[in-house]
Every structure is written in structure tokens, then in C-alpha cells.
Structure 1
Amino acid sequence: MFHRLSVVFAALALALLLVPSALAVKVHVRVEGKDRTIFGAAAPTIDVTSPRANALPESALDALESASVLGEFYYHVTTTSFGPYVDQIGRYAGVGQTGWAYKVNGVSPPVGANEARLKNGDTVLWYWAQFGVAGGPKTLVLSRVGKTNCYRVTAQDDNGGSTPALGALLHVGAKRTVRTQGSTQAAVACVGAHRGLLVRATLDGALAGCGGAEHGEATLWVTRDRGAHVILERTVPAGLTAMQALDRVADIRTRYAGRYVQEINGIKGSLSTRHDWFYFINGYEADRSAAEYRLHNGDVEWWDFRSWQSLMRAPVVVGAFPEPFLHGFDGKTLPARVVYSEPRQRAAAERLARLLRARATDDPRTFSNSHVNVLALIPIAPGDRPFLLANAGSNTGPGKPILFRFGGDPALLLENPPFGRLRYQARG
């Protein structure tokens, strides 16, 4: 009997310990400062976990805490007679009729942030505001018009009511601005192609709105031992960070404030055995935390668990071919060339050039061009094994020009999947 009670009490204790993580919710979070965005320009989805060991759902205050950990920004909470109050985020503290406020799904709740409960899919906005008789500033909201590159902009008040944001400006990336058109019914602007660029709306007296950063899909692979064993292959939405995408499809554990992946689906990195997780985007070894890279349409995100005892770095690998020729890195793609050396290779070179959106050429000077990606077709003797090898050159950063050398029947690269898929270097 005593043994059974001990087991029951142990189970109850474990359940209580697991409450905070079990109640984690996934919400969109953005923090707008006095002059610029502090966190989450595109309102990314993050995991919000309450530090409280009780059964209450997570709150808007918990969302701010989780965002501050991911974004490494400061905030301060003061205790008042009506509960905890956020009096500073980042550099600026609230003074007089200025201060910090929040909205959940476009509405300013009538309770403190610690009492505003969240559910999966909610959108939490923290922002610097100057308050007047009519309350805080209106919030601009962008909505895409069908499948076009046009956006409708509305201004949302504290109660969630919307009116056309007449005269609003749309900022595409950092260099292009388009003014909305319309009278009393709608404020709409068409911004043209903007792959990978954030669209931001501004209007005097209103809080900026963001949207349209990325649409489409990306591919995510998880393997081990340089691609020898495939753990999972999934399609994920573009616009997520690489970390968010991985967290959607796998059970992960992280370190260093969520910036470093320690474990995926129970496979854990180890200093003693010199094994860890490495990740690539379109064949390039990434140069930043997965929490900082935002996926673009068509990207291939590849996580591989391997030994680093003999190979610490692999600046570029062939296993995502036809990447990085098609989508490059961070939304930027270099011109490409398919170089052949014998007339009999010309037809095959032209077929590969169409696949890679490249040009076929037999000009050897192409190899000295430091601004293009090159696929070189190398003649081999009958019976020799095919190969696909990568050379990153002297400048090995992601997005820099690369040289792939292929020997064999070009039809191997036109297959689905192509020769060399999920390999660092490939030999038949």
C-alpha cells in the first residue's frame, strides 16, 4: 500500500513539474519601439511558456518575456496597486502620457497583461504609445488582395474596429515606397514583386503595420552521418525562421536562449563524442543561428547530425542540388553558368542551363568570373564512376559564388531526385 501511494505522489509531483511546458502556446509576437521595431517585424510564431508553476494559461506578459529571451532585449515590470505594469521596454521608459501598451488580436484588453490569457494562434503586439483623450494610437493592419502583390491597409482602434487607412504609405524593404490609393471605402496599393522583402505600412499618428514578408513553401530535411540516414522530410511555410520550422516538425531541445540546437528527436549533440547538429540552407552552411534565418519560398533547410572530429566545417555541399543555383541564400540568387569543354556536351549543358535558369557556355574565362555560380561538366572515360563535387573558392561565406564539378551522364542531374541528393560530396 505504501509503495502504491509513493508512486501516486511521485506521479502527481511530476505532473505539477510538467505543467509550465505542457501549457506552452504558439502565438505571433511583435514589439514596436518608439522609433523602430524591437522584435519580430513580421510577427513570427514563438513558443510562450509561463514561469508560473500553476494551471493558468500563458499571458501577454509571458509573451513579452519569451520574446525578450529570443530577441535579447530588456524590459522592466513595476508592481502597482492594480498589478504588475510594464514601464519600460528597450531604452525608453514610460513618462507622463507616454508608455507601453499591448493588444491581443488587434484589441486592447481591459485587464493587465498578466491577466490577458492566450491561446494558440493569437497575435500579441506590444508598442510604445502616446495616450490622449481618445486612447492610444490606431494600429495599421495589412491584408493581401487575393493572390496579387497588392495590399489593403486599415486602421484598427483599441476595440478592434477598422476604418480605411487613407493616405498610408507602403514601404517595400528599405528602398521602395508606394502610396495607397482610395477614397472612403479602401486604401489599397500594389507594390510589385517583392520576394523576400518585408512590406511595412506607415501613417502619421498610427502604429506601423507589417506583412507580406514571404509566401510559399520551403523544404526541411533532417538526416544524420552526412545524409546517409534520413530521419524526416517535410514541407514547411516560408516566412518562418529556420528554428521555428524545425520546431514545427520535430521534437527539439535548444541551448543559449533558444539559438543553438542541442537535440532533435532524441538525438543529442555531445562534446565528448564530438557529434553535433549542423544546418545548411540551399547547400550553404549557415552563418547565423537558425533563430535568425527566415525561410524564403523554395528554400531547402537541411539539418545533419555528424561527427566534427575530422571535419569541423563544410561551407557548401552538393546534396541540395539544384540548389543553391535556384534560390541562393537569404533570398538573393547569383547568375549561373553551365560550362562545357567538348562540343558533344553542348546539348546536355543547355538542358541543365534551363533547369538552373542559367546560360550554357564553353568559354573557359567563366571560371575566373567571381560573380557567378558555375556548374562545370567534366568529361570522363567510359566506365568511370560519376561524381558531383563542390568547391566554395576562397570566399566561403553563404551566398558567395560556388563551383560544382560534375562528371558523368548529365541525365543523372535531371532525374528526380538528382544524383548526389543528401550527400556532402557524391561519387557513384
Structure 2
Amino acid sequence: MMNQRLDEFFDETWEKYRKPLKNKTKSIVRQYDKYLLREGIIKPPQKIKTYNKGVIVLPAYPPPAVDNPIFKEPKKIAFIHEDVGHITGGRYYAYFMISALLELGHDVTIYSNRKAVFSHEFDQYKKPKFKIVSKTASQLATAKIPKSDVYIGSPIHGGVNAIKQAEKHNKPAYVLIFDPFPMMDKFIGKRKYTGWTHLVKGLRETDAQVISLCNETSKYIYDWLGKEREEVHPVYPCINSIILEQTEDQERQDYALFISRLVKHKRFQDCVKACAENDIKLKVISSVNGIKEKAQEYVKEYDADVDFHLRVDDKTKFEMIKQARVIINGSMFEGFGMYVAEAIACGTPFVGYDYPTFREIRDYAKAKNIYLAKMKDADDLSDKLKQALEEKKFAEPSKEFHFEKMITRIKDI
């Protein structure tokens, strides 16, 4: 963990001076770090207990309830939430968490920089109080927040303020972390994470706890943020089960369905290729304002039959999932993978790459119609799609990712 901390410091010096430190300088810095630890000037990094020769083993989901759960009894909660002008999975998740807290009887106020564009999707859920307290996302980090019993922050600047308020009033803080940097580095390459410095520092230096998406992402949080296992709480995302339950059963139609943003690590081109090779239409649900030119180039390159659907509401989305012969995605990285859970909830087969959160979702739900191809192997993805289309394993809809499950889980934190 010390090496990781110093590597991050070396990266920071590069950002500032645009000149790499020489090995002799790095050696001096490491020696000084050891001196600070030895003299007790800084605390040693927290270590996570590992089992089975260093492999972190977590309990099956959901984990047992903590002693004296914070959210078991009603409290006044400040949910400091940074929003943007389009739908993202993390922000959707945050609103479901707020709805679950309201169901548990908590008094929740959202403090934000703007109204969520998808707020109408929650018309049938309990409503929190809502206050706009900043003009921009960055100003949310310093916005004035009334004294509360618990502070929850999401994602960056909301988290910074939640930690600050909790320290000021000696109250508990929880920060939602969706995409751990070490996990992103592993699966889609090392990158610079602009704007996260204060939040990461705050999480490392305080008792603020973390709410993660699942066990697999939690594994990458412990050392990165200096948290013990009992300070990281996985809470599975839930589907919009109220809307799903109001959606009628559909006859299957001859198409595959892609549900995701059209960004590089989703490997949309692999899905287009697989569908073209298996002579099946591909329908695309995306939240972006327009289709990137690159996506259209892939359609032309593979002479594929593709329809794009933008800003689809949840009712229409569930109808399309129920009609599809298969859900397909080529993503190399997800904090969770909501479209896999939605496929399982509708009994629709899923085809994707062999990614750890997909395996966790599959195993938790005991789904038998999840087809995982070798990572980045477009030919194997095409083969897995062929297998799924031939086997036609349409399962009974599952309730393992319904809203009620999230309510139960949060009560145990």
C-alpha cells in the first residue's frame, strides 16, 4: 500500500511539473516516508486481512447486518448529490437508494446542483425534499448544508461535502463509490482521474465509510482508500421493479438488444459484428443526445441491421427486453452491469465478455442463461451469441434485483 501511495505522489508531481522524478529522488522520498512512519509522524497504512494465499474472500451477498445498523431507525439524512444533464447509472442508483431510505422511514433531503433529467421515472416512489444549493457541480463541495444525523455524498463534490459536514458535526458519513480506480486501471488501462483528489484524500484520512455496488468492486476499494472490510458496504443496484411489474408480457421478436452508452470500453463494434455474423437485427438503447459517427461507421462496416433508440423510458425499455431474444454487450468494464440484472429480471438471455461483476450477478441470481465470452475476443462473442440464439433459454423472471431487496439490504448497514 505504501508503494501505491508513493506512486500516486510521483504521478502528482508529473502533473504539476511535467518532468519525471529521477530514481535517486524517488529513493530519497521512499526513505523519508519510512522515517515518517517509524517516528509515528504519519500512521501506517491499514492492511486488509486476506485469505487463501492473499485472495480477498468476501461473504456471499448480502453480507450479515452490522452491529447497531445506522439506517435501521429513522434519521434526518442529508443526501448531497451532484447531478448532470443526462442519465447515468450511478445517479439512477443514487435515486433508488434515496427511495429505499424513504421507505425505511428516514427524513431525506437532496442537496444538489440541479434536478435529475430522469426524476419522472420515480413518480411512483416516495419523494424526498429537494433543494438546489449550488449553481455548478464543483460549488456543491462547499455548499451550506443544514445539520443532519447522517450525511451521504454522491459522487465527487457531493462526497467531499458529506465528509466535511460529518467531521464538522461529528456525525457518520457515507460516500457512494461506483468505479474504483484500481479496477478501471486493470480492465481499461491506467488513466488520469481529474477532480478526485480531495474526495480520495478525505476518504483516506477520515472515518467516512463507503457504499459500493457489489463484492467485486469492493475488493478494489480497501487498499485504494485505506478502508477495512467493515467500512465498505456493497449494496446491489435495483431495477425499476414498480414499472416492470406494470409491464405486460411480450412475444419474443427476432432481435438482440444493446443497452448502454456508446463509449469506447463498451466495444459496441464487437456487438455489431456478432449480430451481423448471426444474421440478427440489433436494437440499441442509449442515453446520449446523438449517435456518434463511429457507431454508424461500425454499422456500415459490417453491413448490419441496427436501430437506435434514444432516451427510452423504463416501461418501453422493459418491453423491449421482454421482446428481445438476447441482451448483448461488449463492455470491458462496469461498476456493476445493470443491463445484466434487467435481463435476468425479464428472463432474457445475456451475452457479454467474461467480466467479474457479471459472474457475481449470475451466481447471485443463479441464472442459467448467461453466456460469457473470452475477454476482447470478438469471434468468441459471436459464437456465444450463436449459442444463446440456438438454445433459447428464456427463464422465469427473477425478483433478486427488485426494489424491495435494496430496502432490506440498506436496513442492515
User: TM-score normalized by structure 2?
Assistant: 0.29
Task: Give the structure with the higher percent helix.
Answer: 2
User: TM-score normalized by structure 1?
Assistant: 0.29
Task: Give the structure with the higher percent strand.
Answer: 1
Q: Which has the greater radius of gyration?
A: 1
